Each structure stands twice: as structure tokens, then as C-alpha cells.
Amino acid sequence: MPSVLAIAAHPDDIEFYFAGTLLRLKAAGWDLHYCNVSSGNLGSLTHSAADTRRTREAEARESAALLGATWHAPFCDDLEILYTVPNLRRTAAVIRAVQPRILLTHSPVDYMEDHEQTCRLAVTGAFARGMPNFWTEPGHAHVEHEVTVYHAMPHGLVTPLREPVTPDLFVDTTDVHAVKRAALACHRSQKEWLDVSQGMDSYLATLDDLSRRVGQLSGRFEHAEGWRRRLHLGFSATDSDPLAEVLAAHVRKVVSSQGAVTGH
């Protein structure tokens, strides 16, 4: 069974940007893996970091179970996701253990450092998967397999300098949106935090609006998730696009160099 690994920064990031695609791959027979690098320990106005860490782990586990994904434990705390060798060893260990054919992670440029650093760790961890002299924590032998890396849309669908970001691949999530929404609802502790800290009014309504906006960008789907495929060099021998191939009936591709839209 081929596997897909989602590596995100915080509990609830996967649900906002990745979950619909994961559900589509699950329906196609893929093995799902769910990894938040951070514990989410700072995401509360009223509870201690330790209590928040425990709460958010329980919520993430519940969400992963709902999605049908294997949960992998975080190894950082909020604002401590740094591009360091110890964190890289932990990230690479997860990648070697899962051996994903598809790796989903954040946009390289996003609204906050935790997202950007998670992306850097995921990309380098994937690059180092086949290097026998790079040891991981916990230890896993190097693996020789092809992996294709896809970057999600940044928060707000723009860069921190307000530059629009256009996906080159849209995945139709309309039929799985209700399950994606239910997975996000597992993160109950985040409603108050997001309402106050980011003015999000309702995180579920924000999810609905976001997926509809990406659907509108696709020109075809009511709800969608957008992806940009990373250059294959260092990750696979050929310029393969397994997400488009496996989900052919549920995607629309954009050929950026020509500005034309193609696909199914």
C-alpha cells in the first residue's frame, strides 16, 4: 500500500489545508500518516502550556483517527520549530519510518515562521532519507525510494507581503468537505484562541470560506485544496506527479508557464 505523509507545524494545520487531499488518497487505497511538528502548547489564553499540550495531543489523536491516519508524536513546542540538526534528525526519522511516496507540507513562504521552518525540515528530511551517513533520532536505516513533495497554500492564500499565490494543482474536496470539517472540529480548544488571537470569528466558518475561495480559483470545484509540486531533483528519478495521477478524476492542473488550465 503506498503511503502519504502530511507534515505540518501545529495541531489543526493539517485539517485546514491537507485533510481533503488525504481523504481522497485514502479512498484510493493509500496509507495516511499525520505528523504535527509542534505540540501546540501555546494555543491557550487560560490554560498552562503543559495542560494545553496534553489537550491538543488528545484532539490531534482524535482527528487523525477520524481521518483514518496514523498519528506521529510532535517533537517541538510552539515558536521553537527551528531549523536545527536535532529537529532535522527527528523529522528525517519519521520520513524514513513511513517511506512516503507523497509528502505534503506547508508553503515555503507563509505567514509565520513555524510554518516556514516546518517546510524546511520536511524538505531536508526527505532529501536526507537515502543518506546512510546521516543518522536519525530515533534511529532508522536510510531508505531508497522516490518521494514527491507538494506544498500547500499559505495561510490567507498570499505571501506575508500580500503577493497572491496560485496553485498548479487543485484537488476537489467537495465530497469530503464534511469529514474534513468534522476533523477540524476535533480541535475544540482552538475556537476561543483563534477568535481572540487572529480574529477568525469561527474556525469552522473560516475553513468553509477558505476551501470555497480555493474552489473558486480552480474555476471548477465548490471546495478545493491547492498544491504546488516541488522540483523532483534529489527526490525522484523522474519528474513524476503522483497526486495528479492517482486522483486524476478529482484534480485540475494549471500549467503556469503557459498560463493555461488543463486536467480533469
pLDDT at 192: 72
Q: What DSSP string runs through 6-64? A: EEESSTTHHHHHTHHHHHHHHHTTPEEEEEESB--TT--SSS-HHHHHHHHHHHHHHHH
pLDDT at 203: 84
- CA distances (Å), origin 84, targets 15, 87, 209: 26, 5, 35
- CA distances (Å), origin 45, targets 49, 116, 195: 10, 24, 11
- Tracing cell 481522497 back to the chain, one arrives at 24
Distance CA 53, CA 230 (A): 32
Residue 122 has pLDDT above 70, yes or no: yes
pLDDT at 262: 41
Residue 197 has pLDDT above 60, yes or no: yes
- The residue that leads in pLDDT, 203 or 209, is 209
pLDDT at 160: 96
Region 37-44: mean pLDDT is 95
pLDDT at 12: 94
* b/e per residue 88-116 (b: at least 16 CB within 10 A): bbbbbbbbbbbbbbbbbbbbebbeeebbb
Percent of the chain with pLDDT over 90: 87
Distance CA 6, CA 26 (A): 13
Region 21-30: mean pLDDT is 98
Asked if residues 122 and 91 have their Cβ atoms less than 8 Å apart, the reply is: yes
pLDDT at 198: 66
pLDDT at 45: 84
> Per the structure block, which three cell numbers stand in for 108?
515555503
Amino acid letter for position 219? G
pLDDT at 85: 98
pLDDT at 255: 73
Distance CA 159, CA 57 (A): 29
**76-121, pLDDT tens digit by residue?**
999 999 999 999 999 999 999 999 999 999 999 999 999 999 999 9
Distance CA 16, CA 204 (A): 9
**225-249, pLDDT tens digit by residue?**
999 999 999 999 999 999 999 999 9
Residue 263 has pLDDT above 60, yes or no: no
Residue 128 has pLDDT above 50, yes or no: yes
Cβ atoms within 10 Å, residue 42? 18
pLDDT at 236: 95
Residue 199 has pLDDT above 70, yes or no: no
User: How confident is the prediction for the chain on average, in pLDDT?
Assistant: 93
Distance CA 1, CA 28 (A): 10
Under CATH, which architecture does the 3-263 domain have?
3-Layer(aba) Sandwich (3.40)
pLDDT at 261: 40
pLDDT at 201: 57
Sequence-ordered strand ranges (E) for the chain: 3-8, 31-36, 69-72, 102-105, 148-152, 169-172, 224-229, 251-255, 260-263
Distance CA 190, CA 212 (A): 22
Distance CA 121, CA 125 (A): 6
Least confident among 159-168, 185-194, 232-241? 185-194
Contacts of 82 (CB under 8 A, 6+ apart): 76, 117
Asked if residues 43 and 261 have their Cβ atoms less than 8 Å apart, the reply is: no
Distance CA 14, CA 104 (A): 9
pLDDT at 256: 57
- In this prediction, residue 191 has a pLDDT band, given cuts at 50, 70 and 90, of confident
